[in-house]
Amino acid sequence: MRLFVGLGNPGAKYARNRHNIGFMAVDEIARRHGFAPWRRRFQGETSEGTLDTERVILIKPTTYMNESGRAVQEAASFFKIEPRDVTVFQDELELPPGKVRVKMGGGIAGHNGLRSISAHIGNEYRRVRLGIGHPGVKEFVHAHVLSDFAKADDEWVRTLCDAVAEHAGLLAKGADATFANKVHLAMQAKGFLTKDENGKE
């Protein structure tokens, strides 16, 4: 069994924020693969389904970003899921828009959602880092992540979420590099990434 965690903030006010791309990704996984309707539990919203024969629980914490770990710990404890079987979909400032990296363990790079999760279940979970780009100036970071994607971003955001959902079964099986490469190729095919970039970690 796997636990897939989308990071974001709850409520319509935040729905289109860059910080909420994790929510967007797991929403698309649920939609594309016919997961069960979302229901409220474990301080979040959950949906269950199957990806490539693996049972997967999706969760979107409703605790706000900086308390995400409470929901993750509650769900992981209930289903007896080890940290290595937890995959977190997060926004990543240090990657160009539409670029994806997958990494097991590591630091939190100032991300409040990861900080909370690591505090509750340790560091050895998988991160799917979804690039949103950096505003270029440190002082603008807070406003950048908590502002909505521009209309001009809609196409690449949709393409990225589609590709993540289409290939999510590879993550469920632990084929991280293949997943990252497939998503990269899908983005490249639509002209969102240049050919010298590489989807692998």
Indicate which residues carry an active-site annotation: 19
* Max Cα–Cα distance, the chain, nearest Å: 45
List of E strands, the chain: 2-6, 39-41, 44-51, 54-61, 86-92, 100-104, 126-131
- 27-63: buried (b, 16+ CB within 10 Å) or exposed (e) per residue? bbbbebbebeebeeebbbbbbbbebeebebbbbbbbb
CA distance 118 to 123: 5
Residue 29, CA distances (Å) to 38, 67, 91, 122, 194 in order: 12, 23, 16, 25, 26
- Reading phi first (left if > 0) and then psi (alpha if -120 to 50, else beta), residue 7 is in beta
Q: Report the chain's C-alpha Rg in angstroms.
A: 15
